[in-house]
Amino acid sequence: MSGGTAEGTSLSGLTAVVTGAGRGLGRAEALELARLGANVVVNDFGSTARDGTAAGGPGPAEETAAAIRAAGGSAVAHAGDVADSASAGELVTLAVETYGQLDILVNNAGILRDRMIFSMSDEEWDSVLRVHLRGHFATSRAAAIHWRERSKAAGGPIHARIVNTSSESFIGGSPGQPNYAAAKGGIVALTTSCAAALAKYGVRANAIAPRARTRMTDDIFGERPSENAGMDPLAPEHVAPLVGYLASPASDGVNGQLLVVHGGMVAVIGAPQVVAKFDSAKEAFTPSELDETLSPWFADHPAGYANTGILALRRGEAG
Active-site annotation, residues:
167, 180, 184
Strands 265-269 and 258-262: antiparallel
What three-state secondary structure class fits 207?
strand
Q: Which residues contact 200 (CB under 8 A, 6 or more apart)?
A: 151, 157
Strands 203-210 and 15-18: unpaired
CA distance 105 to 39: 12
CA distance 315 to 52: 35
CA distance 248 to 244: 6
Strands 39-44 and 160-165: unpaired
Q: Which residues contact 9 (CB under 8 A, 6 or more apart)?
A: 36, 244, 245, 248, 249, 250
| Nearest CA among 231, 236, 240, 230 for reference residue 217 | 236
